[in-house]
Amino acid sequence: MASSTPVYVATPVHASAPAPALAPAPIPAPLVEPPKAADGPGAFVRQVVDYASRQTPGTVIIDTKNTFLYFVLNDTQALRYGIGVGREGFAWSGEQTVARKAEWPDWRPPAEMVSRQPYLPRFMAGGPGNPLGARAMYLGETEYRIHGTNKPDTIGKRVSSGCIRLTNEDVEDLYERVKVGAKVIVLPGTAARRPSQGAPPDAAFRSPDPASPSNRPSVANAQMLSSGPKIAEAQ
């Protein structure tokens, strides 16, 4: 005889499938910085470039407009450096020679500069804090120099009163290459052109007869292109 006691049957409990394990977050790859240029963006890194010139190897050509200095290697190549040049009113062009060279030069601001900036020191010994930087090459009998700088961020800019500046690393390299007596050609800022733009950049300074009186270098060749005072400024 069947029991009248109700029988309760429990609903089977189905175990839920375990949640899929979360994939571990990817570990970010370490940042890899691209090689940095020496104290300047890519275009101003010291490098050998194609450069058509009939100047004697060892000649220095300064492209004021494009803020490059070329050290002539041969008829078709030059070593190019990025430079800082004279600001508006202090640009000049012409031909000079390297009269002397100095390592970690002292700085004596010219009287004209002191009159404009009376806070400047009257003398500063050579060293890392000196605005002339690690080396200087003095041009003829002028106040102009090719020198280093303790402000590498000014390369590629027009900031000086006529002097040409390079990073300390570059000016040390150039210093070892340039000889006393080397020719320095400063192209006009309004007419300078890159090597790929037709005639070689130094074409305007080629002389069919270098011995001709009209072609002989003189201090007058280094003329200001404006009425600005002819002085050297390192700041």
Q: Return the active site residues.
A: 147, 163
Q: Which two tokens stand for residue 100?
A: 């002397």
Q: How many CA atoms lie within 13 A of 8 on its CB side?
A: 1
Q: Which two tokens stand for residue 193?
A: 């052109």
Q: Which two tokens stand for residue 94?
A: 């012409």
What is the spatial distance between Cα 193 and Cα 199, in angstroms, rounded to a whole number?
A: 8
Whether residue 219 contacts residue 142, with contact meaning beta carbons closer than 8 Å, is answered with: yes
Q: Which two tokens stand for residue 10?
A: 């429990």
What is the phi/psi pair of residue 233, to 5°?
A: -135, 135
Question: E strand or H helix at 98, and its extent?
Answer: strand 92-103
Whether residue 54 contacts residue 76, with contact meaning beta carbons closer than 8 Å, is answered with: no
What is the phi/psi pair of residue 62, to 5°?
A: -105, 115
Residue 68: strand, helix, or coil = strand
